[in-house]
Structure 1
Amino acid sequence: MKKTLALCCLLLLPGQTLLAQTPAQTPEGKPDTLSWTPIETWKADVKPRSFAQTLDGRMVFILGEDSKVHLYSTEGQKLGVIPAEPGTVALDISPRGEMLYLMDQNGSYQALDISLAKDIDIAGAPFLGKETAPVAIVVFSDFQCPFCNRVHPLLEEVMKRNPETVKVLFKHMPLNMHQQAEPAARAAIAAQEQGKFWQMHDALFAVSSSLSPETIEKAAAGIGLDMEKFKADWNSQATKDKLAKDLTSARLAEVNGTPTIFVNGRRVNAPSPDIIQKMIDQELKKKK
């Protein structure tokens, strides 16, 4: 089993006792330079068999003697429980905790793709599909990102498979590395004010490799926007506030790149039509 030593955080499990801070001693009895400071202390509600912590210090996974994996925040909040096979004796996780690896006493190995649903604010976000659809697919995107340009056809295929049960919502996340992504995002928000977000969405991605103020304006004119209103909305404080709201949603959902897709708040780690369909089916099954 892989063991991880964290010098900035100390997790105490049942039966362990925290001692007062004490200078380490060399064999000769002289104080050494090593010292430590407790950061967090709490007690799990399960007898542990193994545990691991994400490298970002956000989650702790504890394999209990009840053959279940218990998820906690590093502040001790219970996040969920994942059943494991009887006889499971060890676990490991990927750096962010999106993959869980289990090993039983007979040497059987199992890898699980897991996700914790995020509460994403979708009020006012442009969407495709029925507003009352039970499954919401949220995509955080950047108009200057070449990978984002390839996601829309994938989502269109998913929509064709699930016309009654799925809606796709767009959230802006212009990356700092893309100089024209932020103006393009504001332009799409301005187009939304005239009821033409998706037309502007397609027009901007059509010129994503050559975005500039000139090509953005040309795209706006090309879809028939009222240009006087568009230019006013493009640079308005209200538009900037709407963009800031999406960026806040991205931060709270721990989105650090584009495109990032969620199905009812669950992150899609390897987007493909089949994987997304499987997650959709899981969400629909929950609602039966």
Structure 2
Amino acid sequence: MTLKPPTPTTPADTSKKARRIVWILMAMIVAAGLIWYAVFTFTKPAPQVTTPADGGQLVRGDSHRVTKPVKEQGQLVEFLDFECEACGSIQPFVNELKQEFGDKITFVTRYFPLPSHRNSKTAALAAEAAAQQGKYEQMYNKLFETQTQWGEKQESEAALFRTFAQEMGLNMTAYDAAVADDKTKARILKDVADGTALGVTGTPTFFLDGKKLTLTTKEALRQALADTAK
């Protein structure tokens, strides 16, 4: 039996073996990485899904439209607080604008009682209870006309507001029931929630055709309405 001498190892063979080892090591590293990723992915907590906040609705079906033009050319929405001095100050002017532009612009009022005003929510309840008997505007005007009598008081003025309702000839049983009804309170709180979502932080705040107005003078408001009513 003749023995063949061993085949000599060449530099090329050595290089080939080294590359093979490198590829094997890289494959092991990749495999380990894939295993780690799979374990991490399936064991980590599921991400929290955040539901987008309600962006608010400027006007709702039950919002108080105090003018009803046959052919609407614009819509002015006011978020107000019956105890707010600025609201009380501008209210006569807003009534003038209703007379001037009410045949073209729909005026909408929404409640936004501020927490710092002790009787603002109570006043809103009185207005909404009156609204349920078709006397919203009468109570609206009465509350602003008498604001200096009851505004900034720390005790409840509910009895005074009830007197206003009696003077208007409202059914007092129905009025009292409406004031105490959680649905009436929820109606007001919905206005507040919409206003907050829309960026209302104080009163009065006006929106003209969906755009929040930044006004420095009463005449600027009149001009904005005039431009819309053209």
TM-score (normalizing by structure 2):
0.67
Larger Rg: 2
What residue in structure 2 maps to residue 124 of structure 1? 62
**Which residue of structure 1 aligns with residue 195 of structure 2?**
250
> 1:150: how far off?
1.6
Q: Distance in 2 between matches of 1:228 and 1:246?
A: 25
State whether structure 2 residue 100 is matched by structure 1 residue 161.
yes
Q: Give me the whole-angstrom Cα distance separating, in 2, the residues matched to 1:255 and 1:156.
A: 22
User: Quick one: structure 1 residues 225 and 271, their matched pair in 2 at CA, closer, same or farther if it must change by over 3 Å?
Assistant: farther
Give the match's secondary structure for 1:129: coil
Q: 2:27 maps to which residue?
A: none
Residue-pair matches, total: 168
Query: How far has the Cα of 1:271 moved from its partner?
Result: 5.3
Residues 271, 128 of structure 1: CA spacing in aligned structure 2 closer, same or farther, 3 A cutoff?
Answer: farther
Between Structure 1 and Structure 2, the one with more helix by share is 2
- CA distance in structure 1 between the partners assigned to 2:60 and 2:183 by the alignment: 17
The one-letter amino acid paired with 2:148 is S
Q: CA deviation at 1:281?
A: 4.3
User: Which of 206, 210, 214 is the matching residue for 2:145?
Assistant: 206
Change (3 A) 1:131 1:121: same
Structure 1 residue 274 displacement after superposition: 3.0
Aligned residue identity for 1:256: T
One of 228, 232, 240 as aligned partner of 2:177? 232
The CA deviation at 1:220 is 1.0
Cα RMSD after superposing both structures: 1.9
* Alignment partners' CA distance in 1, 2:118 and 2:169: 25
Question: Within 1, Cα distance between the matches of 2:120 and 2:196?
Answer: 17
Query: Cα offset for 1:126?
Result: 1.5
* Percent of aligned pairs sharing the same letter: 25
Residues 1:274 and 2:213 aligned together: no
Q: Deviations over 1:6-40 (max 9, x none)?
A: xxxxxxxxxxxxxxxxxxxxxxxxxxxxxxxxxxx
CA gap of 1:148–1:253, structure 2 versus 1, over 3 A, is same
- Structure 1 CA distance for aligned equivalents of residues 178 and 216 of structure 2: 34
- Give the direction of change, closer, same or farther, for the CA distance of 1:271–1:129 in structure 2 (3 Å limit): farther
Q: Which residue of 2 is the match for residue 77 of structure 1? A: none
Extract unaligned runs of 5+ from structure 1.
1-117
TM-score of the superposition, structure 1-length normalised?
0.54
CA distance in 1: counterparts of 2:191 and 2:57, whole angstroms: 13
Partner of 2:81: 142
Q: Would you say the 8 A contact 1:207–1:215 is kept in 2?
A: no
Q: Which has the higher contact order (CA 8 A, sep 6+)?
A: 2
